[in-house]
Structure 1
Amino acid sequence: MATCSICKKDFKNTVLRTCGHIFCRGCIDDRIANRMRKCPACSKAFDKSDAMVVFYG
């Protein structure tokens, strides 16, 4: 599993439905709380409802 490209610490576990990029939940929650609601990878706008947890099995 790869680490989050924002914090470089946590594993990627949350996908943004608007663009499909994956980050850790903490970084996505942080961006939502700080009203930075654009994907760090492609700048597409997203909302809290666009963040979906990914389960690796």
Structure 2
Amino acid sequence: KPLAEKKLNDLISESPLVTVRGYALPAEKSPGKVFKGEPLPDMVKKVVGLLRSEAKVI
């Protein structure tokens, strides 16, 4: 099957196909959670629980 050769001008149209109407920043994210001052097994249970319920990773 022969390949068609195209020049750069064949690929660029005179009018743009996409128009940008504006830019906006994404919504601000809530700060992360910090676990301090608790025994390690309790912190691990909390992190695993959050991964299951909020992030739905596990």
Both proteins in one fold, TM over 0.5: no
Q: Identify the structure with the greater helix proportion.
A: 2
Select the structure of larger CA radius of gyration: 2
Q: Identify the structure with the greater strand proportion.
A: 1
| TM-score of the aligned structures, taking structure 2 as reference length | 0.18
